[in-house]
Amino acid sequence: MDPFVLLGLSRRPLLSDDEIGSAYRKLAGESHPDQSGGDAGRFRELGEAAAILHDPARRLRQLSGSSSGSLLPPEAAQLFPRIATILQQADNLIEKQVATSNPLAKALLLAPLKNLSADLDSTLNQLQEWRILLDQELAEIDVRWPEHDPNPISLLADSYAYANRWESQLRERRLAMESLSG
């Protein structure tokens, strides 16, 4: 079933997390199986619909009807080598730090951890800048909506998918490093 219809939201590219969240909470609260007249099936469908709409990549694919991963956006191609390298470095360093038990060896690893953490932050910033551009593009498409060209929409969806995945991978490493040094 169409996630926009299910949550009673208008079918358009730009929806805020708050709009989606409050529509979801209202309807899910009513259909939760604990409530009289609750409906477990509908409750689950609402959850799935909200998950799709919260993710701009999946939301745009709903609108364009395109499937995932058909195109490699040029910005993604440009960012990829840096992100792959830094993820690998982070994994190696985290693994070393976890395996180390004595304080001296741990202290030796702190300086490289700190350097890498700075690299991680600057890469995250770069991703965030890209994301701002994507959000601008999304807003422009939304202004012209429902008039649209399907190609840029599916390219935008793919861009969001890369940006989201990389951001969460980088943040994951940063969290791991923070809890190691903190």
Q: Does 16 bind another protein (CB under 8 A)?
A: no
Q: Does 12 bind another protein (CB under 8 A)?
A: no
Out of 5, 10, 33, 98, which residue is the one contacting another protein (CB under 8 A)? Answer: 33
Tell the smallest beta-carbon distance from residue 126 to another protein (Å): 20
Residue list 114-173, contact with another protein (CB under 8 A): 114, 171
CB hemisphere CA count around 103 (13 angstroms): 0
Residue list 42-61, contact with another protein (CB under 8 A): 43-44, 47
- Write each residue from 83 to 112 as x if it is in contact with another protein (CB under 8 A), else as -, in one continuous string: -----------------xxxxxxxxx-xx-
Cβ neighbours for 73, distance < 8 A, ≥ 6 positions apart: 155, 158, 159, 162
Per-residue buried b or exposed e for 67-86, using 16+ beta carbons within 10 Å of the residue's own CB: eeeeeebebbeebeeebeeb
Residue with tokens 């926009």: 4
DSSP code for 100: -
Q: Which amino acid is it at 139?
A: A
Residues contributing to the site for another protein (CB under 8 A): 21-22, 25-26, 28-30, 32-36, 40, 43-44, 47, 100-108, 110-111, 113-114, 171, 175, 178-179, 182
